[in-house]
DNA sequence: TTAAAATTTAGAATTTTATTCGATATGAAT
DNA sequence: ATTCATATCGAATAAAATTCTAAATTTTAA
């Protein structure tokens, strides 16, 4: 698994470029833009899904609309065996935790967390992180303002 | 701006919950699940878009499929005037930069960057970051492995 | 509490899009 | 050249989105 040829061509890239910007673009529009038939686009998209090039479609929701105004990054030092992310998996189970990265250096994790407010963060750290075995220490960085937050990848241009 | 009442009810939350998981779920399916008419769902979704509760729909693309195997976080100390993120905006313009956060503490930014490999990172730092005026210093954290990476928000449950 | 106004919903009609499928083309391997 | 696999097109069909109006519900104000 993971060992696979994706073999994407320029048409795939163009489709990905469009879908990355608006996942609800319909086949007819994509077809028009690429000068192809809608059915051909459909085939391509299905194949991209099947090959797990497109992993999922999601709606980006405004955190403010759900009153989630606080964003933090927490460095977590753990006593995990290298390569076995026991603590990592436990962290990943927490709904407020959006990202968990195993990072080089201080043998630990970098975790991205979204909460309503500072109280929510404190609560999470005390009641949820606090109960995870194997956490040695944490260091929290608070986000004052987010300038950019996207997950768009740079898609190779025509050669 | 930003001062607005979202006034979301349980039905909206349910719709958001569904759309957050799969932005291509059709109205008929949502309607069935919520016991409503498709046209009512359509109205709701349109309103959610209009109120900017739903910000956009995007396809999550597998970074490996585009050979982007390297993920890094860079702390950037800048000489920006507080509240005026000149450097922040310049960083946000870089395609490989997915996130730019103004963080508390060392008056700087936390930046999330995706490149093909280590060489790509070095190249970016030298040729792109290196040309931005006002950057005092950088500290880079390299991600060895990502355990979780989502942007899903915790949606309030029924009261 | 009641009445008017505004909003939301259902359901049918219509338009648009997705999907299927056979025919044709393209390309690589034999 | 022949076979096999893959892609595309284009028409036909199925499904979904969208529009619209009347009825129902909720909100507001009297």
The whole-number average pLDDT for the span B143-158 is 94
CA B27 – C1' D24 distance (Å)? 21
Task: Find, among B59, B56, B48, the residue nearest to B13 by Cα.
Answer: B48
Question: Mean pLDDT over all residues of chain A?
Answer: 94
Q: Is the CB of A122 under 7 A from strand C?
A: no
B100 burial class (0-12, 13-18, 19+ CB within 10 angstroms)?
buried
Structure tokens at B35: 């016991």
For residue A84, the model assigns a pLDDT of: 83
Say what the pLDDT of residue B77 is.
Answer: 95
Straight-line distance from CA A39 to C1' C24, in Å? 15
Q: Which of A2-6, A32-36, B36-40 has the lowest mean pLDDT?
A: A2-6
What confidence score (pLDDT) does residue A124 get?
Answer: 98
pLDDT band at A4 (very low <50, low <70, confident <90, very high): low
State whether B114 and A154 contact (CB < 8 Å): yes
**Are the Cβ atoms of B148 and A91 closer than 8 angstroms?**
yes
User: pLDDT tier at B3 (50, 70, 90 boundaries)?
Assistant: low
> Quick one: pLDDT band at residue B105, thresholds 50, 70, 90?
confident
Token couple for A137: 């220490």
pLDDT for res B4: 66
How would residue A5 be classed by pLDDT, with cut points 50, 70 and 90? confident
CA distance B147 to A141: 20
What does the DSSP assignment read for B89-114? HHHHT-TTEEEEEEETTTTEEEEEEE
Percent of chain A predicted with pLDDT > 70: 96
Instruction: Quickly name the fold that domain A63-142 has.
Output: Alpha-Beta Plaits (3.30.70)
Q: Which residues are within 8 A (CB) of B159 and not within 5 positions of it... i.e. 6 or more apart?
A: none
- Which chain A positions have a beta carbon within 8 Å of B42's beta carbon? none
Burial category of A139 from C-beta neighbours within 10 Å (exposed 0-12, middle 13-18, buried 19 and up): exposed
Percentage above 70 pLDDT, chain B: 96
- Are B87 and B100 spatial neighbours (Cβ–Cβ below 8 Å)? no
C-alpha A10/C-alpha A18 separation (Å) is 12
Q: Which chain B residues are closer than 8 Å to A2 by Cβ?
A: 64
- Tell me: the pLDDT tens digits for A41-69? 999 999 999 999 999 999 999 999 999 99
For A107, the closest chain B residue by CA position comes to B144
Strand partners, A15: none
Which candidate, B77, B56, B157, B12, places its Cα nearest to that of A21? B56
Domain ranges of chain A: 10-51, 63-142
CA dist., res. A60 & res. B58, Å (int): 7
Q: What is the pLDDT of residue A44?
A: 98
Most B-contacting residue of A61, A92, A142, A152 (CB-CB within 10 A), to test interface: A61
Output the pTM of the full model: 0.94
Please list every residue in chain B whose beta carbon sits closer than 8 Å to the beta carbon of residue A6. Answer: 64-65
Number of residue pairs across A and B with CB atoms under 8 Å? 223
The predicted pLDDT at position A1 comes to: 46
Q: What is the pLDDT of residue A159?
A: 54
Among A100, A147, A153, the residue with its CB nearest the CB of B148 is A100
pLDDT, tens digit, 9 for 90 and up, residues A115-149: 999 999 999 999 999 999 999 999 999 999 999 99
A10-51: CATH, from 2.60.40.10, 1.10.10.10, 1.10.1370.40, 3.20.20.70: 1.10.10.10
- The stretch B102-115 carries a mean pLDDT of 92
> E strand or H helix at A150, and its extent?
none
């Amino acid at each position: 698994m993971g060992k696979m040829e994706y073999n994407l061509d320029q048409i795939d890239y163009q489709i990905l470029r469009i879908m990355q910007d608006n996942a609800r673009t319909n086949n007819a529009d994509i077809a028009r833009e690429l000068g192809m038939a809608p059915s051909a686009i459909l085939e391509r998209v299905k194949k991209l899904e099947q090959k797990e090039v497109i992993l999922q479609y999601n709606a980006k929701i405004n955190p403010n609309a759900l009153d989630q105004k606080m964003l933090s990054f927490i460095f977590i030092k753990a006593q995990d065996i290298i390569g076995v992310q026991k603590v990592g998996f436990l962290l990943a189970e927490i709904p407020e935790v959006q990202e968990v990265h195993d990072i080089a250096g201080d043998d630990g994790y970098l975790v991205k967390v979204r909460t309503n407010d500072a109280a929510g963060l404190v609560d999470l750290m005390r009641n949820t992180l606090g109960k995870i075995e194997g956490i040695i220490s944490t260091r929290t960085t608070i986000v004052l303002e987010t300038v950019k937050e996207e997950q768009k990848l740079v898609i190779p241009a025509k050669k």
